Amino acid sequence: MLGVNRSMALHLDSIPVPPSDYWHATNSPLVLIYPLEGKEEEVYQGFLTASMTEPFTVYETENSPEEWHYGPTPHSPPFFIVADKGYTFSDDAWLLNTTPKGLLFAGTRARRSDRFWSRVPRPFCETEQVPLPK
């Protein structure tokens, strides 16, 4: 595991793909991309073009590396992006709430959390389990 500092954070807002054209779910070096209906090819090509100059790789879910055992399901995104070693993804909202020691949460009156959760895909109740080969 590598440590990552703020200078190694890739900002999603700086990638020339309009954030209003897709939803994303991020987990540090991995970002799942859910383009809005009708914007699939435009968003994919935008990230693919940016990956030629930025330190990340774009994978279509159906063409992900076989050793990852990750393939298309009804709930998986059409594609995802993975940061190179030593880099991470961030959006500005997270950076504004960080300190050198980590995230800062204060108080119990956070009533506007809907702004944070409005950009993630809707939850689902079913999962698929596939046994890994031995």
Please spell the DSSP secondary structure of 13-43, one letter per residue.
GGSSS-GGGEEEEEETTEEEEEEPTT-HHHH
DSSP bridge pairs for 59: 80
Residues 6+ away with beta carbon under 8 Å from 56: 10, 50, 81, 82, 83, 84, 87, 89
pLDDT in tens, 82-130: 999 888 887 655 555 555 555 445 555 555 554 555 556 666 666 667 7
pLDDT given at position 46: 95
38-77 residue pLDDT tens: 999 999 999 999 999 999 999 999 888 888 888 888 888 9
pLDDT of residue 104: 46
Q: Tell me, what's the pLDDT at 124?
A: 63
Q: What angle do CA 90, 94, 97 make, to 5 degrees?
A: 150
Q: Read off the pTM.
A: 0.65
Residues 6+ apart with CB under 8 A from 27: none
Domains, the chain: 6-117 (3.30.1360.180)
Given pLDDT bands bounded at 50, 70 and 90, which one contains residue 132?
A: confident
Tokens 């020691």 — which residue?
A: 101
